[in-house]
Structure 1
Amino acid sequence: MLFGEIKTRRPIRWGMVGGGRGAQVGYSHRSAALRDNSFQLLAGAFDIDPEAGKAFGQTLLVSPERCYADYQTLFAEEAKRADGIEAVTIATPNNTHYAITRAALLAGLHVICEKPLCFTVAEAKELRDLAAQQNRLICVTYGYAGHQMIRQARAMIAQGDLGEIRIVQMSFAHGFHSEPVELANPSTRWRVNPEVAGPSYVLGDLGTHPLYLSEVMLPQLQIKKLLCSRQSFVKSRAPLEDNAFVMMEYDTGAMASMWISAVNAGSMHQQKVRVVGSKASLEWWDEHPNQLRYEIQGEPARVIERGMGYLYPEAQVDDRVGGGHPEGYFEAWSNLYYRFAMAIEAMDNGNPDLIDELCIPTAEAGYEGVRWVENCVRSADQGGVWVDYQ
């Protein structure tokens, strides 16, 4: 169980690009990073408007002289300081992620980036290779992966509790954009603009979340080919999709399907991952994240609860309060951020093997998310046909 002790020798000196007032996820990053004293927020370029960013940064107790006008100045000036930042979080629109991540790596910084990491596989490979050359870490904030029951599912599958894996069924299908809400909401408007959002809307914005969760649960499965069909039910969003269906075949012969949607009217989230084996199935639903449904053929279904002594050790390590008390979104992000801090320290100390044990989304996860979207778009644009996974 976690009791709030710092997991590193000292807090990581940390800055932010974006995440200012009105940003959708800025507070989530700060809440997660600061909860366990894993990071210390010292600098930032919080807003495209320099004055607004400076004013906002001061409300976070960042010194005025370390609230910078842009990321270029942030990186250059902090590099001159003996107490300069060591890591930076990038919480900006999608089309800026590649350039800012690249600049941060070249400045010798570890990077925590919102997804998608970039727009193309070529860019993702370049960033992954650059991070390795610079001996820096890229982490991607697939925040749902911080929920304890994801680690429980991974351990159960690895132990053979489900038997041979046959089927993976995924969804992330909310209804909040069933109307053209972007007409009145700037934070949504850029998500349906190809120049800013990239080659997809819901595939990249939503679908990569359950995809990554399935990769955590099932690291042994590799996609062999897929088929994608995507639609723009709100016509003004074309060519970007607000609904998509994906079928996948793994190298083992197991099959997967995913429904991704922003127009599932009435639905809150509907993010689910169901894994079906030869002996049993399990299902995780992000609206009930403290529970894992476990169904053994021929037996009554059972619900596995977070925080209980019968869980595998991998799941118990991230407990923050005892069983029966609900944990949720902020705890999941915090679990990722303290692991990010431990991974950064391990990298700096020449101990990269520890990073694999921490089970965090790194540059490889960012690369795979971009790769998956690129293959989905390629299939959909050919009329929804099976394509070999490239």
Structure 2
Amino acid sequence: MINGERTIQRPLRWGMVGGGRTGQVGYKHRTGALRDGTYQLVAGAFDLDAERGRDFGTALGVEGDRCYATYQDLIAGETAREDGVDVVSVATPNFTHFEITKALLNAGIHVICEKPLFFTVAECEEVKALAKEKGLIVGVTYGYTGHPLVRQMAAMVAKGMLGEIRIVDLAYTHGFNAGDDTNAGEAVKWRTNPETAGPTFVLGDIGTHLYYLSEIVLGDVRVEKLLCDRTAFIPSRAPLEDHATVLMHYSNGARGRLWVSSVDAGNMGSQRYRFVGSKASLVWSDSHPDQLLYQVQGEPERILHHGMPYLEDESLACDRMGALHTEGLGDSWSNIYLWIAQAIDARMRGDDAFLANHHYPGIDAGLEGVRWLENCVRSADQGAAWVDFE
């Protein structure tokens, strides 16, 4: 169980690009990073409006001279200091991720980046090679993948408790974009513009969460073919999609279905996962994150609760609240940030043995998410055709 004891040599000196007062995700990053004493927020380029960013940064406790106008200023200022940042989180719109991440790595700074990581697999491969050359870590923030019951599902699948996986059913839908974009805020506008969002809207914005979490649970079972049907029910969002369905064939013969939508009117938002094997099934949803349904054929349905001693060690090791209390998104983000901090600390110490066996969402997780998106777009552009997963 995680109890807040420090697990690395010293807190990482941490900065942010983006994540300011008017952003949607900055507080999630700070909630995750600042919980266990593994990070200390010391710098930031928080806002395109430099004065507003400075005002916000100082309100967070960052010294005024370390609240920068641009990420270029941050890099210049921090690399000139003996106590400069070790790692920077990139919480900006998609189209900026590649250039900011490259600049940070070239300056010798570890990176934690929002998803989808970049626009293309080629960009991911370039950054992966650069990070390896520089000996640096790139982490990616996939929200609920740090939840203990996700680790429980992965352990149960790996130990054969479901038998052979046959069916994978994934959904992440909400209705917050069900209306048109006449009075849409900036967060919607950049997400529905191909120049700033990339080649997808909901597939990249929320579908990659489903895909990466399923990768964790399924282990060696991988997608071999897929078919993607996507559409924009709000015409102004085309050619990007606000609704998509993806069918998948897996390496072991399993079949999968993934549904993402931001026009699911009336739905306040939820992720739903069902993994069906030859012996049993698992069902988990972020709307009831403390409960995992374990359905064995021919037996009564069981509800497994987080934090209970009957769970697998892999789940109990990342539990925070104990069974009596709710464990949610903030706890999952804290685990993700903790695991990335441990990876950075190990890299700084040259502890390759630790890194070889340490799980965290890194550059490969981001790369595979972009690879999945590229295949989805390729299928959709061919008229929802089956394509080999490349």
Q: State how far apart, in whole Å, the 1-side matches of 2:98 and 2:233 are.
A: 30
- Counterpart residue type for residue 56 of structure 1: F
Distance 1:133 1:226, change over 3 A: same
* Residue aligning to 1:219: 219
Q: State how far apart, in whole Å, the 2-side matches of 1:117 and 1:341 are.
A: 19
CA contact (8 A) 1:343 1:352 kept: no
- Counterpart residue type for residue 191 of structure 1: R
CA contact (8 A) 1:182 1:188 kept: no
CA contact (8 A) 2:151 2:315 kept: yes
Q: State how far apart, in whole Å, the 2-side matches of 1:270 and 1:353 are.
A: 38
* Residue aligning to 2:307: 307
* Residue aligning to 1:36: 36
Give a deviation string over 1:211-237, Cα, whole Å, max 9, x none: 000011112012111100001011111
Deviation (angstroms), 1:312: 0.5
* Residue aligning to 1:166: 166
Equivalent residues in 2 for 1:83-102, closer than 5 Å: 83-102=83-102
Name the SS of the counterpart of 1:227 in structure 2. strand
Q: State how far apart, in whole Å, the 1-side matches of 2:293 and 2:228 are.
A: 28
Equivalent residues in 2 for 1:190-205, closer than 5 Å: 190-205=190-205
Q: State how far apart, in whole Å, the 1-side matches of 2:2 and 2:99 are.
A: 36
Name the SS of the counterpart of 2:384 in structure 1. coil
- Counterpart residue type for residue 271 of structure 2: Q
Name the SS of the counterpart of 2:293 in structure 1. strand
Q: State how far apart, in whole Å, the 1-side matches of 2:353 and 2:175 are.
A: 41
Deviation (angstroms), 1:182: 6.4
Deviation (angstroms), 1:250: 1.3
Q: Percent of counterpart pairs with the same letter? A: 54
Q: CA RMSD in A?
A: 1.1
Deviation (angstroms), 1:356: 5.0
- Counterpart residue type for residue 157 of structure 1: V
Q: State how far apart, in whole Å, the 2-side matches of 1:204 and 1:143 are.
A: 14
CA contact (8 A) 1:228 1:385 kept: yes
* Residue aligning to 1:78: 78
Equivalent residues in 2 for 1:215-254, closer than 5 Å: 215-254=215-254
Distance 1:89 1:389, change over 3 A: same
* Residue aligning to 1:23: 23
Name the SS of the counterpart of 1:183 in structure 2. coil
1:289 and 2:289 are equivalent in the alignment: yes
* Residue aligning to 1:187: 187
Q: State how far apart, in whole Å, the 2-side matches of 1:31 and 1:206 are.
A: 20
CA contact (8 A) 2:229 2:246 kept: yes
TM-score (norm 2): 0.98
Q: State how far apart, in whole Å, the 1-side matches of 2:242 and 2:355 are.
A: 35
Equivalent residues in 2 for 1:318-329, closer than 5 Å: 318-329=318-329
* Residue aligning to 2:380: 380
Equivalent residues in 2 for 1:137-176, closer than 5 Å: 137-176=137-176
Give a deviation string over 1:297-339, Cα, whole Å, max 9, x none: 0011111100100011110012222212111111110111111
Distance 1:356 1:210, change over 3 A: farther
* Residue aligning to 2:177: 177
CA contact (8 A) 2:294 2:303 kept: yes
Q: State how far apart, in whole Å, the 2-side matches of 1:194 and 1:97 are.
A: 14
Equivalent residues in 2 for 1:4-15, closer than 5 Å: 4-15=4-15
Name the SS of the counterpart of 1:21 in structure 2. coil
1:359 and 2:359 are equivalent in the alignment: yes
Q: Which runs of 5+ in 1 are unaligned?
A: none
- Counterpart residue type for residue 172 of structure 1: Y
Q: State how far apart, in whole Å, the 1-side matches of 2:107 and 2:245 are.
A: 40
Q: State how far apart, in whole Å, the 1-side matches of 2:132 and 2:237 are.
A: 37
Q: State how far apart, in whole Å, the 2-side matches of 1:167 and 1:129 are.
A: 35
Q: Which moved more, 1:11-20 or 1:72-81?
A: 72-81
* Residue aligning to 1:120: 120
Q: State how far apart, in whole Å, the 2-side matches of 1:259 and 1:138 are.
A: 29
- Counterpart residue type for residue 220 of structure 2: Q
1:370 and 2:370 are equivalent in the alignment: yes
Deviation (angstroms), 1:352: 3.3
Deviation (angstroms), 1:71: 0.5
Name the SS of the counterpart of 2:123 in structure 1. helix
Distance 1:383 1:70, change over 3 A: same
- Counterpart residue type for residue 347 of structure 1: R
CA contact (8 A) 2:340 2:361 kept: no
Q: Which moved more, 1:257-266 or 1:176-185?
A: 176-185
Give a deviation string over 1:178-230, Cα, whole Å, max 9, x none: 11256332221111111111100001001100100001111201211110000
Q: Which moved more, 1:90-99 or 1:342-351?
A: 342-351
CA contact (8 A) 1:12 1:87 kept: yes
- Counterpart residue type for residue 269 of structure 2: H
Q: State how far apart, in whole Å, the 1-side matches of 2:361 and 2:255 are.
A: 23
Deviation (angstroms), 1:7: 1.4
